[in-house]
Chain A
Amino acid sequence: MTIGSKTVASSAVSGSYGEIEAERGVVTLEQDVQFQEIEPERQLIAFDQDVWEVEPARQLVRFRQSVLQAGATEVVPVAYVTVGGVDYTATTALDTVVVSHTEDQSSTASVFLFFADDAVINIPSFHGKTLEISTHSDPSDINSEIIPLFTGWVETAKYDRDRRGIAINGSDLRDERLGREDQQQLQALTGGLYSNVTQREEAEGREYVTELMKTVSGSIGYNRDGSLLFHNWGTASGIDAVYGDADVAYDGVEVEFQTRSSIINSVDINIQYQYQRLRTLTTNVDAYKRRMFPVGIGFDGRAFDRNDMLQKLESFSPWELIRYTFYPLERFKSYFVGANRIYVTDAAWTEYGRTRYCQGIDATLKRRIAQPVRENYSMTIDAPQSIDAYSETVKGTELNFSLSVDYDRSNWEQDYKEGTQVSVTESFSYQQALADNRRDDLANAFDCAYAIAKKEIISSHRKNYVSFDRLQTIDQYDVGDVIQINTRIIQTTGQIVSLEYTFADGVRNTSYKIAVSYMDTEVAAPIEDYSRPDAPAKPGIGGLVGSSAVYNTNDGAFDIIIRDIQERYTDELEQDIDNEYSLPIENTSITLINGY
């Protein structure tokens, strides 16, 4: 690139001095001064908002009224069966009523309804209708409390010609109903986390519940009476029932230990975060030529039009001219060639000329670069108790996530002009915030990823099961309740993962399956030490680029060279951040004695 103009004096002795333009008219500035009063920032409206929780209209009491013949003996039904709000107890085969509740699954029930011979079976009376099963706490007392056992809907109904009735299976439609629950309520109830980065994006309905529960070391479902039920895994909530030898059927006790291949005691998480680091590169162009530049026996007396110089520097886009200082015009004086004196009249050396021309310029230019930066976070969650118990670090599925900031680089590299900013500091901060605006998403992703890995590890350790029956009793417990069993055969504490009620001829039983978290280790449980990884120090925002300006006498102009921008300012920067965490796992003892 060359900058130059020839200034020819009207009465030059030798050499070329350039052209002098005609003097121009006076510039008149017109200014309107307007009166301005500043109104400070202030609050105009304060919103006082209360958020009330709605409790919907609902039935509080349902009256079950049994009218008996005068003098009749009160018969306490084995169970009450209601279909579509109608009591079918009298026509239910009470030798085949089974209700099952299992963790993370729909509760089910099965009953058989008799219908009168030759009667038209009213299909709408049961198809898709509600199904409720309950029983008295005391099977001999009609006035004893009624215990709900199942609240749901008729899922399947099959006509059995041989038995002359309909075999009905009910379901509490857990997944479908969870999908209709309020998302915020579910999050508040479970403490679950959701991120578009770590879980399925824009999940709704039952998908949302599935994604939310990935971060919860617990289970959600519906209670025996149809109300929403959530429980955290573990026995920390306290023991709900203790059963001894007299409480548990001696036969039917089963203990099933965890499958070795299902153990996971370490999970690696990788999260990449990409953003733009906004840099401002600076170069200084110092172009100076003295007026009496010696060339041969004479001098190059060129000077330069200031406007031309500015225009040329401003044409270096995307470099932006920020500051400049002209080297003032110097006087071309008489000089000697040998013994001869050369007299010079410098036509440019006037008051006008000194404002019009210059000997060069010292200018600062800036160029903006949006440099991509990738932060690679690596998180390893270990369960040291399990690693000791199984003498191996068993890795679970590696979790990989990434998120990037959607920022248009041209906003910074081309559209942004420092010279037009009221406050460079504020405007830069604003742009940088736009180019790095997903830190909250990143923080949420950390939390979600950790919770997902935590659940994976914990769930793989609570698969030791103890199953037992309690005969002639219907217990009012739910999945998630904690049972301590202290019998001659088995002593341990676990959490109910399955509960089954069975009514048959002479049978009125509650069957339990409890999950026990057990490991063979003496290693103490570590303190859970999760905290979000710290962001690394951000790269610098500045940079210097070299430049040169050399006067070329042949061209009568400056050759200006701005060097190429170094790759370390433009190429993607990678920063690695590694973190390790220890996860405690509940370790409950199991005592198992062989015998009758």
Chain B
Amino acid sequence: MAIQWKLYTDAALTTPFIGTLSIVHYTDFSDNPQDFVLYLGNIDGDPADNGAWKLVRADDSDILLTITDTTPGSGHETTEIKLATSLLDLDTAIAGAALNLGSELISGVTAAQPVHIRVTNAVSIAGTSLELGTSINETVRRSAV
């Protein structure tokens, strides 16, 4: 199936995010915290920025970005990650909590949804990990008309 809603590294949705956010931490936590911003949007299906499509959930519940851990209880934990829709909200966001994007997202550049990420390392042992991630639940794309 054709996925149109993707993450981009810029608000103009010109540079797709490849999928891996590479972060370097130090054992003395001197790098904490590190903030990033990505943009969730649909430009493939709406290049003219007409708001032609909506992204919703089939049961009309809210769209969530959840933080996942492939090895809970060891290594990096989901509480290292905070998600928010604005930089200001990152301060008050709950670490490890899912980000609620509301009941619908609209296609096009102007409606791109910023996703602010704050990573605060809590691991003091040197090593490389790929255990943490952020996932979106199943959604449906429908015409906005």
Query: Complex: how many Å from CA A89 to CA B127?
Result: 11
Query: Complex: how many Å from CA A148 to CA B16?
Result: 12
Query: Complex: how many Å from CA A212 to CA B137?
Result: 32
Residues of B within 8 A of A225 (CB): 18-19
Contact digits for A346-390, partner B, Cβ 8 Å, 1 yes 0 no: 000000000000000000000000000000000000000000000
A63-B128 in contact (CB<8A) = no
Known: A66-B22, A74-B24, A142-B22. A61 touches B140 (CB 8 A): no
B126-A67 in contact (CB<8A) = yes
Residues of A within 8 A of B140 (CB): 52-55
- By beta carbon, the residue of chain A nearest B141 is A53
Q: A148 is contacted by which of B7, B19, B38, B58 (Cβ under 8 Å)?
A: B19
Q: Which of B1-31 contact A (CB under 8 A)?
A: 1-5, 7, 9, 17-28, 30
- State how many residues of chain B have any CB contact under 8 Å with chain A: 53
Contact digits for B25-41, partner A, Cβ 8 Å, 1 yes 0 no: 11110100000001010
A59-B26 in contact (CB<8A) = no
**Distance to closest chain B CB from A58 (angstroms):** 6
B133-A64 in contact (CB<8A) = no
Residues of A within 8 A of B21 (CB): 61-64
- By beta carbon, the residue of chain B nearest A53 is B141
Categorize the interface residue count of chain A.
35 or more
B65-A60 in contact (CB<8A) = yes
Known: A85-B70, A142-B24. A66 touches B135 (CB 8 A): no
Residues of B within 8 A of A63 (CB): 20-21, 23, 76, 81, 119, 129-134
Main secondary structure of the interface of B (DSSP, over half): strand
Query: Complex: how many Å from CA A161 to CA B12?
Result: 52
Tell me if B52 counts as interface (CB < 8 A to partner A): no
Residues of A within 8 A of B7 (CB): 60-61
Residues of B within 8 A of A182 (CB): 1
- By beta carbon, the residue of chain B nearest A70 is B28
- By beta carbon, the residue of chain A nearest B42 is A55
Tell me if A69 counts as interface (CB < 8 A to partner B): yes
Tell me if B123 counts as interface (CB < 8 A to partner A): yes
B81-A67 in contact (CB<8A) = no
Residues of B within 8 A of A52 (CB): 58, 140-142
Residues of B within 8 A of A85 (CB): 70, 130
A54-B27 in contact (CB<8A) = no
Tell me if A296 counts as interface (CB < 8 A to partner B): no
Contact digits for A64-94, partner B, Cβ 8 Å, 1 yes 0 no: 1111111110100000001001110110000
Query: Complex: how many Å from CA A68 to CA B136?
Result: 30
Query: Complex: how many Å from CA A61 to CA B5?
Result: 13
Q: B138 is contacted by which of A56, A64, A90, A189 (Cβ under 8 Å)?
A: A56
Known: A61-B7, A63-B130, A85-B130. A53 touches B1 (CB 8 A): yes
Residues of A within 8 A of B134 (CB): 59-61, 63
Query: Complex: how many Å from CA A92 to CA B19?
Result: 22
Query: Complex: how many Å from CA A56 to CA B131?
Result: 21
A55-B135 in contact (CB<8A) = no
A59-B133 in contact (CB<8A) = yes
**Distance to closest chain B CB from A66 (angstroms):** 5
Residues of A within 8 A of B19 (CB): 59-62, 148, 225
Tell me if A122 counts as interface (CB < 8 A to partner B): no
- By beta carbon, the residue of chain A nearest B137 is A57
Contact digits for A150-167, partner B, Cβ 8 Å, 1 yes 0 no: 000000000000000000
Query: Complex: how many Å from CA A134 to CA B126?
Result: 21
Tell me if B68 counts as interface (CB < 8 A to partner A): yes
B5-A55 in contact (CB<8A) = yes
- A→B interface (CB under 8 Å): 50, 52-72, 74, 82, 85-87, 89-90, 134, 136, 142-143, 145-148, 182, 185, 189, 225
* 10 A-B pairs with least C-beta separation: A70-B28, A61-B134, A52-B140, A63-B132, A57-B138, A64-B22, A53-B141, A52-B142, A87-B128, A67-B25
